[in-house]
A and B are shown apart, each in its own frame.
Chain A
Amino acid sequence: MAAHSQEHTSHTKLIWKVFGILSIITIVEVILGIIKPDALHLTKILGTSPLNIIFLVLTIVKAYYITWYFMHMADEKKSLRRSVVWSAVFLIIYLATLLLIEGSYINDILAPLVKWNY
């Protein structure tokens, strides 16, 4: 216990700051989601709209703040942090990449066969 005595100071300020950041990001997401500016929504970049890329990046930023400051990952040893975060990041990217590539391939083959005129 004594070795950790410096940790016992209150982090309340940091917590409210992180809450502020998360709130701002959420508000930005919601505003963009409601307005959907044509310049971001109807154009295409990296296979999707810039708006989707923005949403994804903001989501990951939010995930970072929750994990690092709410779950106190920042205070854990580097070995624990890496074994949890890297495993998740690698496996999720791997899974998502394969499934999304497969999904758009199925769409390429399937979509022309679907009838929309009656």
Chain B
Amino acid sequence: MEATVATKTNQKTWSGGTNKPLGASYGKMMMWFFILSDALTFSGFLAAYGLMRFKFIESWPIADEVFTHFPFLHGIHAPMYYVALMTFILIFSSVTMVLAVDAGHQMNKKKVTFYMLLTIIGGVIFLGSQAWEWKNFINGSYGAVQLNDGKIIQFVDATGHQITLESFAKSSNSERTQHTKNKGLWFVDEPALAAFSLKEVIDGFNANSDITIRTELINPDTKKKTIIPRENAMSYLNEAKMVVNGANLKVNEYGKTLFADFFFFITGFHGFHVFTGVLINIIIFFNVIIGTYERRGHYEMVEKVGLYWHFVDLVWVFVFTFFYLV
């Protein structure tokens, strides 16, 4: 006995037969609903970020002070510029993508190829930019001290501007060297030591009478971090546990570690989307070149990857707002 087949298929699984619910082809409709579910995933992450931010609203890191680097401008305070550039790169690659879709409607293979190529290049540049942004965030810019209860203490000069540890602490390299496997127990390893020991930082602080510290606490009237007068500073530094350089999942010189966790997770998840988007774009790009869609009679596949690509751009618009602007 053969199984009962309810409907006769037209052999093309991925175009889903001749029915067109909601007036869209099977592939396009499913791409839309995939995007819907992915959008909800991202909103879950961003809403969790919002929850934690509201929970620690009085001491959350200020984005302007965290992301201040720009290529070739060393030591210049340039908040926002780099991330604005990244936003433009992504918006522009969205434009070339939609131009490719548009050329596909006109069955213009040459133009589709060209614009797909531009889109891929834009995506790769964006990924590189994000890697650079991560590198700066991981390496840090000023260095800080963490207290026993996990709070971060940063150092400022007389004008209230943050200063680097190098500018006042002297490295004596006296306390100890990094333990590596060839120097002792072969099964014990440790990460690279901070450039300065805690003692060197505190000695440097005592030696420079014009610097002081600031805490994570935000003054609600000025929306700036609270600066502690120098005469009270030592009672904070007596509680110091370790020197912090840069940010990772365990510690963050800019303030709350949660900020670093969410930053790495959300921009990482978005970056992974960009990465897969680039891969899919490359596949479709080669399909365009070998004439797959020319033979098929339509460029709907370009339209579908285009949807995904624009969605990645859409998510970035929100990430940009919630991590850098608000």
Q: Which residues of A contact B (CB under 8 A)?
A: 1, 7-8, 10-12, 15-16, 19, 22-23, 26-27, 29-30, 33-34, 36, 41-42, 52, 55-56, 59, 62-63, 66-67, 69-72, 76-77, 79-80, 83-84, 87-88, 91-92, 95-96, 99-100, 102-104, 106-107, 110-111, 114-116, 118
Contacts and interface: CB of A to CB of B under 8 A. Distances in A.
B29 interface: yes
Contact of A103 (B53, B297, B298, B321): B53
18 contacts: A12-B102, A19-B95, A22-B91, A30-B81, A33-B64, A34-B64, A34-B80, A55-B326, A59-B317, A59-B320, A63-B314, A66-B313, A71-B310, A80-B32, A83-B22, A91-B43, A103-B55, A118-B232
B35 A96 contact: no
A19 B98 CA distance: 11
B88 A107 contact: no
A63 B223 CA distance: 29
**Main secondary structure on B side of the interface with A:** helix
Interface residues of B, number: 71
A1 B102 CA distance: 15
Contacts of A41: 223
A78 B217 CA distance: 49
Interface in B49-63: 50-59
Contacts of A23: 88, 91
Contacts, number: 155
B136 to A, nearest CB: 18
Contact of B58 (A26, A71, A92, A111): A111
A76 to B, nearest CB: 6
Interface of B: 22-24, 29, 32-33, 35-36, 39-40, 43-44, 47-48, 50-59, 64, 79-81, 84, 87-88, 91-92, 94-95, 97-99, 101-102, 105-106, 147, 149, 215, 217, 221-223, 226, 232, 235-236, 238-239, 297-298, 303, 306-307, 310-311, 313-314, 317-318, 320-321, 324-326
Q: Which of A41, A66, A104, A118 has the most CB of B within 10 A?
A: A118
